[in-house]
């Protein structure tokens, strides 16, 4: 009798041990030491990238750079490759700011989008403070584009060649380049960039072109004309600087599809979703919905190649300085804590 009870206890102990093994085995543990996939890794499973812009002053913030280097698959220099930074004096080039970001990205195995070659803003005084003949400005523009593109050849996968070329009503923006050279400066810029790097993807980039409307129609018409003339153009960058008070661009996916039908890639290149401060739970929930929706729109269109947020934390957002009383535009707060928007993006990418 005692032997049987001992045997029963042994069987019970063995059964308990087996249950423990089953409960804590590979299926139950699911590699507790393994990090969850990053946004960059989740996007890569869809054949896309998920990236962030960054700027040189914040690279001294080690907590910031640790997250920047680990969470994203792509980086855009916010200011370091713009004309004022790269050619501060005529014919004198300085790539130090852009190189710092490109080198950081390369060390972290991240792709880099070049930003930007031709833009009406942040130009050096030597360029804006002089009347140029068409021949002079063409020469200056060609040299600038080709010198910068050659310097970064093989180091960036895409360039925003011309940035913000149209007004809201779809007319050409009266820039120094348009006024002196006419609308042909855009085709020339694309051709010169292609000569300097035959492999880089060439984009036109703008804001308020997420929805179908006069401004995005202007890009659609221009893109069709450029393709017909065999001008090298690979994609359209939709900046996607959105604001809750103006409503969500509900025709975003339709818009991405029509550019895809022209044989063009698209990318959401400078995403943020600002709000009137203070931020409330309700506004943050709505913001999260918008981030989810735009991520899903990109995933739904095969030729939408990726998404870049315009920096990832409210700590370094450009919004409060340019839109007083607005902010809280990014998926991480000022303490680098993920907001509902971050979780919504993850949900969409899963």
Residues 196, 154 contacting (CB under 8 angstroms) = no
pLDDT along the chain (350 residues), means of 10: 37 38 39 82 98 98 98 98 98 98 98 98 98 98 98 98 98 98 98 98 98 98 98 98 98 98 98 98 98 98 98 98 98 98 98
- Catalytic, 225? Answer no
How far apart, in Å, are the Cα atoms of 52 and each of 76, 180, 196, 337, 340? Answer: 6, 35, 26, 16, 18
End-to-end CA distance of the chain: 59
How far apart, in Å, are the Cα atoms of 126 and each of 129, 140, 181? Answer: 6, 11, 18
Q: Note the pLDDT of residue 18.
A: 36
Q: Vertex 170, ends 167 and 173: CA angle to 5°?
A: 35
Q: Note the pLDDT of residue 33.
A: 64
Helices (H), the chain: 2-24, 26-29, 39-44, 62-71, 83-86, 96-107, 125-128, 134-151, 176-181, 185-196, 214-228, 252-261, 281-300, 319-322, 340-349
Catalytic residue, from 270, 281, 282, 326: name it: 270
Q: 52: helix, coil or strand?
A: strand
Residue 204's beta-bridge partner residues?
Answer: 162, 236
- Catalytic, 334? Answer no
How far apart, in Å, are the Cα atoms of 31 and each of 25, 43, 132, 334, 343? Answer: 10, 22, 64, 31, 21
CA 122 remoteness from chain centre: 20
Residue indicated by tokens 């490759």: 81
State the pairing for strand pair 304-309/111-118. unpaired
Determine the Cα–Cα distance for residues 141 and 89; give it in Å rounded to an integer. Answer: 14
Catalytic residue, from 35, 164, 210, 281: name it: 164
Determine the Cα–Cα distance for residues 265 and 76; give it in Å rounded to an integer. Answer: 17
Closest-CA residue to 339 (of 307, 317, 306): 317
How far apart, in Å, are the Cα atoms of 51 and each of 68, 133, 233? Answer: 9, 40, 22
What is the topology classification, in CATH, of domain 46-349?
TIM Barrel (3.20.20)
**Structural domain boundaries in the chain:** 1-29, 46-349
156, containing H or E segment: none
Please give the mean pLDDT across all residues of the chain: 92
Residue 307's beta-bridge partner residues?
Answer: 50, 268
Residue 75's beta-bridge partner residues?
Answer: 52, 112
Q: Note the pLDDT of residue 34.
A: 81
Q: What is the value of pTM for the model shown?
A: 0.90
Determine the Cα–Cα distance for residues 318 and 291; give it in Å rounded to an integer. Answer: 18
């Amino acid at each position: 009798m005692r032997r049987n009870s001992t045997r029963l206890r042994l069987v019970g102990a063995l059964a308990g041990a087996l249950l423990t093994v089953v409960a804590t085995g590979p299926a139950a543990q699911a590699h507790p030491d393994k990090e969850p996939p990053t946004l960059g890794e989740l996007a890569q499973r869809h054949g896309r990238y998920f990236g962030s812009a960054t700027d040189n002053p914040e690279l001294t913030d080690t907590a910031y750079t640790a997250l920047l280097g680990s969470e994203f698959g792509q980086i855009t220099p916010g200011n370091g490759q713009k004309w004022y930074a790269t050619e501060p004096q005529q014919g004198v080039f300085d790539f130090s700011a852009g190189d710092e970001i490109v080198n950081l990205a390369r060390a972290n195995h991240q792709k880099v989008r070049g930003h930007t070659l031709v833009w009406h803003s942040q130009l050096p005084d030597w360029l804006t403070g002089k009347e140029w003949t068409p021949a002079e400005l063409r020469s200056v523009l060609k040299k600038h584009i080709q010198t910068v593109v050659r310097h970064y050849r093989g180091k960036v996968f895409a360039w925003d060649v011309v940035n913000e070329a149209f007004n809201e009503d779809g007319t050409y923006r009266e820039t120094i380049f348009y006024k002196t050279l006419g609308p042909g400066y855009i085709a020339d810029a694309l051709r010169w960039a292609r000569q300097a790097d035959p492999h880089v993807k060439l984009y036109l980039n703008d804001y308020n072109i997420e929805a179908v409307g006069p401004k995005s129609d202007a890009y659609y018409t221009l893109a069709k004309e450029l393709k017909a003339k065999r001008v090298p153009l690979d994609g359209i960058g939709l900046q996607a600087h959105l604001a809750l008070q103006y409503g969500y661009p509900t025709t975003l996916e339709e818009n991405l599809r029509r550019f895809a039908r022209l044989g063009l890639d698209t990318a959401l290149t400078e995403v943020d979703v600002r709000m009137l401060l203070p931020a409330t739970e309700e506004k943050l929930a709505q913001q999260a919905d918008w981030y989810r929706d735009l991520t899903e729109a990109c995933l739904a269109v095969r030729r939408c190649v990726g998404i870049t947020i315009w920096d990832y934390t409210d700590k370094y957002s450009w919004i409060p300085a340019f839109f007083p009383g607005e902010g809280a535009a990014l998926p991480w707060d000022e303490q680098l804590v993920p907001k509902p928007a971050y979780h919504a993006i993850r949900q969409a990418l899963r």
